[in-house]
Amino acid sequence: MIITDTHTHLYSEEFDLDRKEMMQRSIDSGVTRFFVPAIDSSCTQSMYELEKAFPENVFLMMGLHPTYVKENYLEELQYVENQLAKRKFIAIGEIGIDLFWDKTHLKEQQIAFKHQIRLAKKYQLPIIIHCRDAFDEIFEVLETEKGTDLFGIFHCFTGTYEQALRAISFNMKLGIGGVVTFKNGKIDQFLHQIDLKHIVLETDSPYLAPIPYRGKRNESSYIVNVVHKLAEIYSLSMDEIAKITTENSKVVFGI
């Protein structure tokens, strides 16, 4: 199996003690493509070091995460622009709106989200959307920006069937990870109604580990558990799930 993890924070300090071993476990499990989202300017150097260590496997994104949109967000957005002008990235992400922790900067999050969508269009790149307690707000922005030049992934999709269809209508794939294995995850109840061509796999490691690792540090090798669950849902072999979702990732990222 060749498996693609479309969203993993491999540079996280939670991997500092065993990053090389963790990466090897993942590669041995069949995970050979790792797409790494940015958070803010503080993570860039670690991302570059990761890419240098695993140049054949790691692909970097650039962007400002919505929960890191603070008073200095205009400086952070300028930093994103500067990095995009310097070198090639695979996507703009992760970007979006998060109202779970704090609604204080909703306006700034909306501005940052729209600005980064336009950067993605400028560079003809996909966007990777972070959405938490903010489907209506996300869809409102996407509605104003929709078009053939808007495409990407709805990372860590946890919405309803209706929200899934709406996300797909904006040329978005659904990023499916550990939540699909949770008893209360709910998306497993309707996912069979979504054509597999709209699905990509992710871990969001070190977060959201699938069953039986829930509550522990997640890592990319655990994506095999997600593949197993999707094989059950779609009544396909794990090999077929891996192959189709990897092809879907190539459609998004172009590699």
Q: Is the pLDDT at 243 greater than 90, yes or no?
A: yes
Amino acid 1: pLDDT: 87
Q: What is the pLDDT of residues 62-93, one digit of tens each?
A: 999 999 999 999 999 999 999 999 999 999 99
* Closest C-alpha to 83, from 70, 68, 93: 93
Res. 146: pLDDT tops 90: yes
The mean pLDDT of 165-179, rounded to a whole number, is 98
What is the pLDDT at residue 53? Answer: 96
Per-residue pLDDT, 44: 97
Does the CA dihedral 114-67-77-82 come out positive or negative? negative
**Half-sphere exposure for 17 (CA within 13 Å, toward CB):** 2
Cα–Cα distance between 53 and 127 in angstroms, integer? Answer: 25
Please give the average per-residue pLDDT across 207-215, as a whole number.
97
As a whole number of angstroms, the distance between CA 223 and CA 56 comes to 19
Average pLDDT rounded to a whole number, residues 168-196: 96
CB-CB neighbours of 47 under 10 Å: 22
pLDDT at 185: 87
**Residue 207 DSSP label:** S
Percent pLDDT > 70 in the chain is: 100
Does the structure show a pLDDT above 90 at 102?
no
Inform me whether the pLDDT recorded for 164 exceeds 90. yes
| Average pLDDT of the segment spanning 107-135 | 98
Q: How sure is the predictor about 195, in pLDDT bands with cuts at 50, 70 and 90?
A: very high
Contact 38, 62 (CB under 8 A): yes
Task: Tell me 248's DSSP state.
Answer: H
Q: Which position has the token pair 């993570």?
A: 43
How confident is the model at residue 234, as a pLDDT?
98
Token look-up 């095999």 returns 224
